[in-house]
A and B are shown apart, each in its own frame.
Chain A
Amino acid sequence: MTELRERVATAPGSASAPSILTAAAAVYAGQLARVRAARGPLLFVATLQSLGIEVLLRGVVHNDGRSTAAAIVAGSTVLVAAFVGLNLLAQRFGALRAGGALDYYAALPISGASVVLGTTASYATFAIPGALLTVVVGTAMYGLSFTYLWLAVPTVIAAGIALSAVGAAIGLVLPRPELATVAGQLAMTAALFLGVIPPGHLPVGVRGVRDVLPSTYGVDALAAALRGHPSAGGQLWRLAATAGYAAAALLLASRAFRRSVDRSHG
């Protein structure tokens, strides 16, 4: 028996469980390969949708409405991340769960957290080009400040990860893929309306809802940058809030991952 255990312990690969970051990186690379091949049209649609909103609203916003314009561009930009992260990833995890596909990951020597982290990061990554295109086009179209536009990069990354993490949690927590799809789309719709419409134009009751949306802090950070006078403290607070949402959603999704696997039928 001792000899057997030694053989097992020294068998090629048997002792080599990857670390959480290594596993997440491998999941990330695998998802990138997958998404690159299959999700191109959807990513194009996500960008086109946001550019379309900017073009549409350009016709009804006056040149002097700088705050409104900043809110529209920021909301449209974060909407790309909401479309890809919230909507597509909720659908993806819902479908994986329903199809028993999580078994593939659960049978490997990796944690559920690394799967959630790697997949979330890959979807967030795919939202970045469309989001950056949207913010640059919007800034030019509405005559906003380019001075602090570089702040769009950390903001979009943080918002992308937070919204993808929420999408992952939705897909893994809800018991049926149809519910995950509906919930992902509802959350994206909330991000659209409560992100694009300036908070001052919203009814008081709805502002409370806006405050708890994970997309709100990214939108506000970006809008402040586009107005041309962001405060360092405010930006840090908003990015920290977005990161907090991301961490909470990742934790929830990771816990839901293991429960999802054990509850699926054989």
Chain B
Amino acid sequence: MQTAAFEVRDLRRCYRSGRRTTPVAANDGIDLDVPTGGVFGILGPNGAGKSTLIRQLVGLLRPDAGSVSLFGQPVRAGSRTTGGLVAYLAQDEPALDEMSVVAAITTTARLRGRSRSDAQRLAAELIDELGLTPLAARTLTSLSGGQRRLACVAVALVADRPVLVLDEPTTGLDPVARRSVWDALSRRRREDGTTVVLVTHNVLEAESVLDRVAILDRGRVIGCDSPGRLKASVSDEVRLDLVWRREPPADDPVVAMLAPRSFRDGSRWTARLGHAEARAALDHLIAGPALDYLDDFTLATPSLEDVYLALGGCDDDMERA
């Protein structure tokens, strides 16, 4: 039986922007089990409550109600035990500003209990592993956004914690850096059995690296399973993407049928249709006068974004790339 690293039960946390304002539920009764030794993703649009959830996972935020346990022990705000087991990467690390990359990694290793010589050795190894050698002596403020993010990932990885909780670890990274981060995470998972919990907006990335994913919307988990099984749950549908060159002909019956059923992003229409319905619509569009209005089209099997929409997600903030 696979054991849970994190067990989350009925977790609730509200924010109030002022004394007289109505509290907004960032987490509204979340139940989750994060299995040990896998890569667990938390996916959802901006404001879904992802960062609030992971800050509670690592004991940085006290829940209003509910509980979080780590390897069977309750996670408490300020607990040094949690800090001993979990490495946390926030969306940004301004505390490390004005430190050099090597100093930031070495300092973090020291604060995780490593000796000075050990910390220096670990920092050198990580800098080499993530390809940070040319940047090692530079301060974090002098780096580009992607370079800085990579340096912060190195800070999170140093001194090998059994659990990594990473808030958007690959945001802003170029493909080479992104690959080196995933390689580093895979290596730790394979060799040390490290559990990885990560927040991402990137649907394609989520589909390729996650063992299991929880989809959040307005503070609630609206789906939680492996990406494959989640996508299979909506496999009776396909996604039809249409990119219009100019305003599509409203009098075309297929355009009229698609118009109210599509999510629109500029000139792009995205609709989820049954297999036969999608095939018929596409046949009609490419055989008739509407083809002159079309710039591009795609017929694809469901992505996690489609799962999110099918499960009742209300926002279109999730990224495809």
Contacts and interface: CB of A to CB of B under 8 A. Distances in A.
Interface of A: 1, 4-5, 7-8, 11-18, 22-23, 25-27, 29-30, 33-35, 37-38, 95-96, 99-112, 258, 261-262, 265-266
Contacts of A106: 59-60, 78, 83
A262 B60 contact: yes
Given A17-B80, A30-B104, 5 more contacts: A13-B159, A29-B110, A35-B98, A103-B88, A106-B60
Interface residues of B, number: 51
A30 B160 CA distance: 20
A18 B103 CA distance: 18
A95 B95 CA distance: 10
B200 interface: no
Nearest to B86: A107
B3 interface: yes
Given A1-B3, A266-B52, A11 B160 contact: yes
Interface in B51-75: 51-52, 54-55, 58-62, 71-72
B112 interface: yes
Contacts of A29: 107, 110
B141 to A, nearest CB: 8
A15 B3 CA distance: 20
Interface string B81-112: 10111111010111111111001100110111
Interface string B242-282: 00000000000000000000000000000000000000000
A102 B93 CA distance: 9
Q: Which 7 A-B pairs have the closest CB atoms?
A: A16-B113, A30-B107, A109-B83, A26-B110, A107-B88, A104-B95, A38-B98
A37 B100 contact: yes
Contacts of B94: 95-96, 99-101
B145 interface: no
Nearest to A10: B162
Interface string B34-52: 0010000000000000011
B186 to A, nearest CB: 18
Nearest to A99: B94
B83 A107 contact: yes
Binding site secondary structure of chain A? helix
Interface of B: 3, 15, 26, 36, 51-52, 54-55, 58-62, 71-72, 77-78, 80-81, 83-88, 90, 92-100, 103-104, 107-108, 110-114, 139, 159-162, 192-193
A14 B80 contact: no
Contacts of B15: 265
A110 B83 contact: yes
A262 B90 contact: no
A40 B26 CA distance: 42
Contacts of B100: 33, 37
A262 B139 CA distance: 28
Contacts of A102: 95
5 contacts: A1-B3, A4-B71, A30-B103, A112-B78, A261-B60
A28 B129 CA distance: 27
Nearest to B91: A100
B84 A103 contact: no
Contacts of A104: 90, 93, 95-96
B275 to A, nearest CB: 41
Contact of B80 (A1, A5, A95, A110): A110
Contact of B83 (A26, A108, A265): A108
B36 A100 contact: no
Contacts of A26: 107, 110-111
Nearest to B85: A14
A53 to B, nearest CB: 29
